[in-house]
Chains A and B, each alone.
Chain A
Amino acid sequence: MLAKGLKRKLDYEENMAGAFDSNPGLPYNLQRQLVLNMCLIKLQSCRMLVEPNLHRSVLIANTVRQIQEDMRQESGQQALSVCGVETYTSTQTGIEFLGTSSPVLHNPSGADNTSDSMENPNENSLGVFSDDDMSSAISSILKDLDFMEDTSPSPCPAPAEDDVSVECAGAPSEDRLQGSKPADSVFGSFEITNSTSYLTDLAFDDIFEDIDTSMYDTDLCLLPATPARSLSGTVDDVPKPFHLCNSSSVNSIQICRVDFKLVFQRTY
């Protein structure tokens, strides 16, 4: 496992990727989230370059788009279950989520459902032990991202997390495991990202709000619940309802959209 307090971003990612490859039984949603996280980090690093490699950036961006599309389709299936669930946006919760869910990564017992994403992962694998080291690793990432945010062209990163964090911290962990909220919140974002004018519609402050948390608060922790929901959910519905349920994770997608633009235009 991770050494106390020493792990940084790369190690964390390696760990995740390694866990992904060596454990094909990982729940589909978790795999997807893992890939999405890596994509976002890569896009961030692309953005830092003076002249990013366009080919690489496009491939990463398309992967994000594909995952978005995938999530959107899934959200259609989960339409009913999603609404009315509050979101977890705070940095702190994000960390906690990852902290509690990290055992999944290292626990191969999570069912051998390589192909079938809807199969129920082993709920028991969650919360078997909680990993403080992981949390600290992630908080360091979040700090990094905050820093990146500061250097980004955004006029003002708007933090609005504290209130939510209180709320979330109070929430029992079981609830967190049950809610498919972060996933939903991501779905919610598609409404906005899909609109052609999303960039002009939003103030920059909104766009960059919560960037750090949104990248990590998604369904890492909620996997167990998601399959159940999806089974019960209606199929192929437009995810309009989610539009309202969320404010936080929207930003993760917006951020990456911004990335596309910055990354691509920078090269021009």
Chain B
Amino acid sequence: MGEDIDTRKINNSFLRDHNYVTEADIISTVEFNHTGELLATGDKGGRVVIFQREQETKKQPHQQGEYNVYSTFQSHEPEFDYLKSLEIEEKINKIRWLPQQNAAHFLLSTNDKTIKLWKVSERDKRPEGYNLKDEEGRLKDLSTVTVLQVPVLKPMDLMVEVTPRRIFANAHTYHINSISVNSDCETYMSADDLRINLWHLGITDRSFNIVDIKPVDMEELTEVITAAEFHPHHCNLLVYSSSKGTLRLCDMRAAALCDKHAKLFEEPEDPSGRFFFSEITSSVSDVKFSHSGRYMMTRDYLTVKVWDLNMETKPIETYQVHDYLRSKLCSLYENDCIFDKFECAWNGSDSVIMTGAYNNFFRMFDRNTKRDVTLEASRENSKPRAILKPRKVCTGGKRRKDEISVDSLDFNKKILHTAWHPTENIIAVAATNNLYIFQDKLMWSSDYRFIPDCVYF
């Protein structure tokens, strides 16, 4: 168990040479905690890095909002399953914060098979003056102890301690794609390709299988679970998405086994628009409940859709993320990009949605004004305090000066993971091994002014 204890002063040593990208440095998940004070990222190397927002000071009122490295630790190590002769990657698939209940923070992190509960706590005092131990913790020679003293707590430099509290293993045959903490704050679920398990946060040796779509004969397998999430307010409701583009809402009150969904959200297929890759592009890569709990958002390869929980027949809104790729699907299939799993995020008021695209572009859609914008996360464009310029992709016809043509998009630079601060207009965007944090000083509806706040490499 590789557990590191770091102080917040490691900031500089953490910054890596940005020209040298190793696979392990690629960010694989980004997640704000419930207050937005902390931001956690996981990477392919099994590390978790936690950023903390700087508190506003009287001296520098405008400095508020910058995120600094708070702690970094090795969450998962590569493992080997000797029974199946399988290597288990250390890559962090998902991180979820638990609602804060005391001074410490807790988060769940998972790789393909094993979920871990971590406690992140601060320590700024240490006990001194033990009777039987010296300063280094070694036992004293009892003959030297002549007087009894009362140990005291002395202040010291702030230290962030990260300790593993629970390890939930051996419950998933397939790769875990989602974890979600229930609103009851006592249970959480984990979903893999074919099953969803329900856990109690305090019990590691047992979980309940609540969804199982594995056919008896694996040959008949045509559908997998791609993502799953609990309802933000109703602890009995959960939704899971499938590779066929459907959403199933389950009510755990109905039965212990949620194999029968309460609602099935599915858009009728447009027969005229069918093409070879229809099924692949309609596979849902992410599903998120809105903060209000009224809506769900799904991301598939080409679109983002917003569903009303009260309407199963079709989404209430559909936004095109990069429709210009429709003519390139064969190449994208050939180079496997078509299997990329883009995530999506709501803003705090559920009025704007954000999702990633290629070429380090990410898209935002204002649900009220129906305006949309393409922004770019790049070092060149991200000078501190500069305003992000909207980018435009030229889709045929004559390319204007500041437009970029579809053919020159870089498909290796993709933004799969994004997160939105729970209440403010601060977003975190993971572009390969770079984390960009932008914040909007103005209200979003007035302008698309995202200002790079800090950039971590």
Q: Judge whether A14 is part of the interface by a CB distance below 8 angstroms.
A: yes
Residues 170-199 of B at the A interface (beta carbon under 8 Å) = 173-175, 177, 193-194
Q: Evaluate contact between A20 and B279: CB separation under 8 angstroms.
A: no
Residues of A within 8 A of B278 (CB): 66
Interface string of B326-356 (1 = CB under 8 A from A): 0111110111100100000000000000000
Q: Are B174 and A63 in contact (CB under 8 A)?
A: no
Question: Which chain A residues lie closer than 8 Å to B454 at the CB level?
Answer: none
The reply on B1 being an interface residue by CB < 8 A is: no
Assuming the A-B contacts A18-B331, A21-B327, A21-B330, are A67 and B276 also in contact, with contact meaning beta carbons closer than 8 angstroms in the complex?
yes
Question: Residue A62 contacts which of B85, B218, B279, B335 (CB distance < 8 angstroms)?
Answer: B279
- Contacts A17-B331, A21-B328; is A56 near B339 (CB within 8 Å)? yes
**Taking chain A's interface residues, is the majority helix, strand, or loop, or is none over half, making it mixed?**
helix
Chain A residues with CB below 8 A from B277, complex form:
35, 63
Which residue of B is nearest A59, CB measured?
B280
Shortest distance from the beta carbon of B243 to any chain A beta carbon, whole Å: 6
Smallest distance from the beta carbon of A88 to chain B beta carbons, Å? 24
Tell whether A14 pairs with B279 under 8 Å between CB atoms, given A55-B193, A264-B218, A264-B221: no
In the complex the two chains form, is B222's CB within 8 Å of A50's CB? Answer: no
**Are A59 and B339 in touch, CB under 8 angstroms?**
yes
- Within the complex, the shortest CB–CB distance from B329 to chain A, in Å, comes to 7
The minimal Cβ–Cβ distance linking B398 to chain A, given in whole angstroms, is: 19
Contact flags B110-135 to A (C-beta < 8 A → 1, else 0): 00000000000000000000000000
Residue of B84, B222, B333 contacting most chain A CB atoms (<10 Å): B333
Q: In whole angstroms, what is the CA distance A264 to B277 when docked?
A: 21
A54 pairs with B334, CB closer than 8 A: no
**Considering residues A14, A31, A264, A265, which has the most beta carbons from chain B within 10 angstroms of its beta carbon?**
A264
Please state if B223 and A58 are interface contacts (CB–CB under 8 Å).
Answer: yes
Contact with A58, one of B175, B224, B333 (Cβ below 8 angstroms)? B224
Q: Is B298 an interface residue (CB 8 A)?
A: no
Contact size range, A: 35 or more
Contact across chains for B283 and A59 when beta carbons are under 8 A apart: yes
Q: Does B79 contact A (CB under 8 A)?
A: no
Q: Is B439 an interface residue (CB 8 A)?
A: no
Chain A residues with CB under 8 Å of B177's CB are 55
Number of B interface residues in the complex (CB < 8 A):
34
B219 at the interface (CB under 8 A from A): yes
The reply to whether A17 and B327 form a contact with Cβ atoms under 8 Å apart is no
The digit string for B207-226, where 1 denotes a CB below 8 A from any CB of A, is 00000000000110111101
On chain B, the residues within 8 Å of A66 by CB distance are 276, 278-279
Give Cα A126 to B283, complex, Å: 37
The answer, among A31, A63, A260, for a CB contact under 8 Å with B279, is A63
CB–CB A268/B175 < 8 A: no
CA–CA, A16 to B335, complex, Å? 12
The residues of A that contact B175 with a CB separation of less than 8 Å are 53-54
- Report A94-135 CB contacts with B as 1/0, cut-off 8 Å: 000000000000000000000000000000000000000000
Contact A260 B219 (CB under 8 A): yes
The answer to whether B328 touches A261 (Cβ under 8 A) is no
Q: Does B147 touch A at the CB level, under 8 Å?
A: no
Give the complex CA separation of A20 and B339 in angstroms: 19
> From residue B9, how far is it (CB to closest CB) to chain A in Å?
40
- Collect the chain A residues with CB atoms within 8 Å of residue B103's CB: none
For B283, what are the chain A residues with a Cβ–Cβ distance below 8 Å? 55, 59
Interface of chain B residues 385 through 423 with chain A (CB within 8 A): none
The answer to whether the Cβ of A86 comes within 8 Å of any Cβ in the partner chain is no
The answer to whether A32 has its CB under 8 Å from any CB of chain B is yes
Please indicate which of the listed interface residues B222, B276, B329 has the most CB atoms of chain A within 10 Å of its own CB. Answer: B276
Residues of A within 8 A of B330 (CB): 17, 20-21, 31, 34-35, 38
Q: Given the interface contacts A13-B334, A268-B173, does A32 sit within 8 Å of B86 by beta carbon? A: no
A241: Cβ under 8 A from any B Cβ = no
Residue-wise interface mask of A (59-78) relative to B, using a CB-CB cutoff of 8 A (1 in contact, 0 not): 11111011100000000000
Which residue among A21, A55, A56, A264 has the maximum number of chain B CB atoms within 10 Å of its CB? Answer: A55
Q: Is A24 at the interface (CB under 8 A from chain B)?
A: yes
Q: Quick check: is B141 within 8 A (CB to CB) of the other chain? A: no
- A62 pairs with B193, CB closer than 8 A: no
B17 touches A (CB below 8 Å): no
Is A261's CB under 8 angstroms from B334's CB?
no
Question: Does B380 lie at the interface of the complex (its beta carbon under 8 Å from any beta carbon of A)?
Answer: no
Kindly list chain B residues whose C-beta atoms are within 8 Å of the C-beta of A58: 221-224, 243
Known A17-B331, A38-B334, A56-B339; contact A265-B222, beta-carbon cutoff 8 A: no
A62 to B279 CA separation, bound complex (whole angstroms): 8
Contacts of B173 in A (CB 8 A): 267-268
A51 at the interface (CB under 8 A from B): yes
Determine which residue in B277, B280, B335 has the highest number of CB atoms from chain A within 10 A of its CB, and name it.
Answer: B280
Nearest CB of chain B from residue A51's CB, rounded to whole Å:
5
B326 to chain A, nearest CB (A): 10
User: Is B87 engaged at the interface, CB distance under 8 Å to the other chain?
Assistant: yes
| Bitwise interface map of A from 5 to 30 toward B, beta carbon under 8 Å scored 1, else 0 | 00000000110111011001000000
B contact residues around A31 at 8 Å (CB): 276, 330
Would you call A21 and B329 a contact (CB within 8 A)?
yes
Give per-residue flags for B70-99: 1 if the beta carbon is below 8 A from chain A beta carbons, else 0. Answer: 000000000000001111000000000000
Task: Please report A residues at the B interface, Cβ cutoff 8 Å.
Answer: 13-14, 16-18, 20-21, 24, 31-32, 34-35, 38, 50-51, 53-56, 58-63, 65-67, 199, 257, 260-261, 264-265, 267-268
B residues near A, CB below 8 A? Answer: 84-87, 173-175, 177, 193-194, 218-219, 221-224, 226, 243, 276-280, 283, 327-331, 333-336, 339
- Not counting A38-B334, A199-B219, a sample of 7 additional A-B residue pairs whose C-beta atoms are within 8 angstroms of each other reads A14-B335, A34-B330, A54-B194, A61-B221, A62-B243, A63-B277, A66-B278
Can you name 12 A-B pairs with beta carbons within 8 Å?
Answer: A14-B331, A18-B331, A20-B331, A21-B329, A38-B330, A54-B193, A55-B193, A55-B224, A55-B283, A56-B339, A58-B222, A58-B223
